[in-house]
Every structure is written in C-alpha cells, then in structure tokens.
Amino acid sequence: MSLIVQKYGGTSVGTPERILNVARRVIETQDAGHKVVVVVSAMSGVTDGLIKLANAVSPAPSERELDVLLATGEQTTIALTAMAINALGRKAVSLTGAQAGIITDGVHTKAKIANITPKQVHEHLDDGTIVIVAGFQGETSDGRITTLGRGGSDLTAIAIAAAIKAHVCQIFTDVDGVYTCDPRVVPTATKIEEISYDEMLEMASSGSKVMQSRSVEFAKKFGVVFEVRSSFNHNPGTTVKEETRNMENVVVRGVSIEKNQAKLTLRQIPDRPGNAARIFTALAGANLSVDMIVQSDGIGDTNDISFTLSKDDLPKASKVLESVAQEIGAQGIETQDGIAKLSIVGIGMRSHSGVAAKMFAALSHGGINIQMISTSEIKTAVILEEGKIVEAANLVHEAFGLSARA
C-alpha cells in the first residue's frame, strides 16, 4: 500500500458537483489500494470575493487579518470535500493547515513553511481514513493563522508529500499536463510525459504558469516526484522528477512564451563601477522583478543598460529610475512595450551544440527580428516584437521537432 497526495485546485472544486467528482476520484485512488491525503484550494471565486469584502471595510487591510479571512476559503472546501467523501460511504476527515501541523514563519500573506509535524495526518491515515488538508495555509509557532501566497496550495501538497514520504504527489488542475508549448498558441503542441525539475523551473519562469517556481523548487529540494494532470479526465499527465540519463536525448523539452513584456533602457551611463548595482538595487527596493538584463557599449566612455520587466511594472520602474538616472549621470531613459519573450528549454542543451543557432535561424527564416538574447545552461530566450510571437513560437516549435505528427 503506497501513500499518495492529491491536490485539487479552485476550478476542480468550484461547485458542489465538482467536489463530488473529486470525492469519486479520491475514492478510486483508495480503491486502487492507496492511502490518500487530499489537499484542496478555495472554490474558484471565493478568494476574490473575500478580498473584495476586505477592501470594502479597509483601504489597506492588515495582513494578519487578511490571512485570517482568506484561510476560511480553504477551510470551507476541506469540510465540503470530507462531507462529499462521507456521503459516498468512505471515512474522511478535514484538517486545517494548523491541524495538519504546517508551521510557517510569521510573514503574513506570503509565509514560508518552516516545518511540518503531520501527527494527525498519520493517525487518521493509519485508521484507514482519507485526510483532507487545507492548502495555502499554516500557523506560526505562536498560533497565528498564516497563508503561503500565490501557488500556496501546490506548495502545501508537495510539502505534505515530502513530510509523510508519499510515493507520489498528483497536482490536479484544469489542464492535462505540461505541453511543449501553449496549445492555444501552437496547435501542434504535445503533452510532455516526463520533465526534470530544472526544466520545469525554466518553463515556469518563462511564462508556462502551470505551477509557481517555489513549489517546483521545494519538490526538487526534497526529491518529491509529482505529476500534473487534469481533474476533468483520466489522461495521464506530466511527471516532474529528478533528471534521468535519457531525458538528455531530447534537446529541447518545450517552448514557452511570455507576452506583456516591456524594455527599459538607460542611455550613456558613465562607465564607473557601482552604477549597475545602484540601478538594480533601486528596482529591488521597489519590489520590481527584472527579467533579462543586457549591457552594451554606448557612445564614448559610457554604457547602455537595458532590461525587461512586466509591462504592468513599467510606469513604476520609470519613476523609480528617474532620480537614479540623474545621480549616476545617465543621458536618458527609454521605454518600449509591445514586446514578448520566447524561450526554449531543455537539459539536452547542455550536451548538444548549435541549439541557439538553430533557434535564431528559424526566426530569421521567418523574417523575425531578435531584440535581446539571454541564455542559461538549459534555456535560450529572445525578445521579439509581440505581434510576431505566435508565428515565432510555431516556427521554433517546428524547428526542434516538437510538433505532433499526424
């Protein structure tokens, strides 16, 4: 008998009917001879409704109280899920994050898991009971309710799986798994059977938002094998695990795209040590995430520094850098939106040469201009005009042989 953790997201538990559907899947899993821990999110829409209530009583709700408020969303789902399983004739109990022993630090609304003591989880499992745990939440060691921030329910599932040494952690969602590219962009995209943690991380950071990076990092750190699959069908999903030898045979695992990017360039920065640090420290201080950074020679003894970031952050970044630009003697700030990022990801890139060149050639054949380039060991990313991104993704996807064959 093996131990399985299953996580169902907000869409999968969005209505009473869907909760009953989840209950049936959980029971199938038990019938297949497994002990099951189920982690659930708030029903879709509930969290937004709670935030709306909070904003109706306060322009800037305290984060401590936001956590108390938001935690009710998952608490509602665990009770309903346990009831649904009971109604279908099986033993099930619900546990809040605190009851499941999830202890976090005290950073409200984005707490980090400090440790898990899943005593109650084990007791109920040993009793043949299905255990339903509230995702996204925990408590501090002094008893305050906390939430884990975006992607928190996935993190709960993977952390519980690590703590109870589950055989596998299944992340049920509204997509079938991880695809070689977003099928809405590249219709010939195919589902990836197996992917390494590192590839999954690069995909996530390149816009394939199946899961937040922190959950994948946690899984990697503790060696938790997890599978991303759909709660609406029985198709096998994508398994994410430590890389294996034969994973390297595939040069490019997937292509990911990220729209809504913007570029900001500081022109003619005097070539003095510390200027780049001042720029990016200022941005970090304003909580702005920067993606690609390129430094190039400017006129005379100066450099140009360009970086990309989310288009939504562009106004704030421009404002933050106005005074910095003056202080360091830059000649001006230029901004550009309407750009997008295209990335290819694969651990096979480490052992195959010419991968980037092949990508650039594919784009060039299509007459698509490359504005910036960034590479890592297992990823090559380029910035393109946003209007060309669909065409570019299809060209590159095809060039690396990722498309489904008829």
Residues that bind a second copy (CB under 8 A): 16, 19-20, 23, 50, 53-54, 56-62, 64-66, 68-69, 71-72, 75-76, 78-84, 86-87, 93-94, 96, 99, 120, 143, 145
Nearer to a second copy, 103 or 390 (CB): 103
Of the pair 4, 85, the CB lying nearest a second copy is at 85
Question: Which is nearer to a second copy, 120 or 310 (by Cβ)?
Answer: 120
For a second copy, the closer of residues 98 and 178 by Cβ is 98
CB–CB of 29/88 below 8 Å?
A: no
Helix (H, G, I), strand (E, B) or coil at 326: helix
Least distance CB 49 / a second copy (angstroms): 10
Min dist CB 50 to a second copy, Å, is: 7
- The per-residue b/e assignment along 241-278, b for 16 or more CB within 10 angstroms, e otherwise, is bebeeebbebbbbbbbbbeebbbbbbbbbeeeeebbeb
- Looking up tokens 């708030």 gives 42
- The smaller minimum CB distance to a second copy, of residues 71 and 175, is found at 71
Which one, 50 or 356, has the nearer CB to a second copy? 50
Nearest to 206 by CA among 319, 340, 399, 329: 340
**Minimum separation from the CB atom of position 104 to a second copy (A):** 16
**Least CB distance from residue 84 to a second copy, whole Å?**
4
Rounded-to-integer distance, Cα 111 and Cα 215, Å: 13
Q: In angstroms, rounded to a whole number, what is the distance separating the alpha carbons of residues 138 and 160? A: 12
CB of 99 to a second copy, least distance (A): 6
Q: In this structure, how many other beta carbons lie within 10 angstroms of the beta carbon of residue 123?
A: 12
Nearer to a second copy, 147 or 206 (CB): 147
Q: How far is the CB of 163 from a second copy (least distance, A)?
A: 18
Report how far apart, in Å, the C-alpha atoms of 190 and of each of 24, 145, 210, 240, 283 are. Answer: 28, 41, 15, 16, 38
Pairing label, strands 145-147, 137-140: antiparallel
To the nearest whole angstrom, how small is the minimum distance from the Cβ of residue 201 to a second copy?
Answer: 34
Rounded to whole angstroms, the Cα distance separating 144 from 128 reads: 31
- CA Rg, the chain, in Å? 23
